[in-house]
Amino acid sequence: MSFKEACRLFWMVKGHLNTSEQTIIDSSRGYFDRLWGNHEACYHEEGFEEAYNEKFGRSTRELED
Query: pTM value?
Result: 0.78
E strand or H helix that includes residue 53: helix 48-56
Per-residue model confidence (pLDDT) at position 46: 82
Residue 44, burial from CB neighbour count under 10 angstroms (0-12, 13-18, 19+): middle
Ranges assigned E (strand) in the chain? none
Per-residue model confidence (pLDDT) at position 25: 96
User: With contact defined as beta carbons under 8 Å apart, do 2 and 47 qualify?
Assistant: no
Q: Has residue 37 got a pLDDT over 60?
A: yes
Q: Has residue 17 got a pLDDT over 90?
A: yes
Per-residue model confidence (pLDDT) at position 45: 82
Average pLDDT over residues 34-50: 78
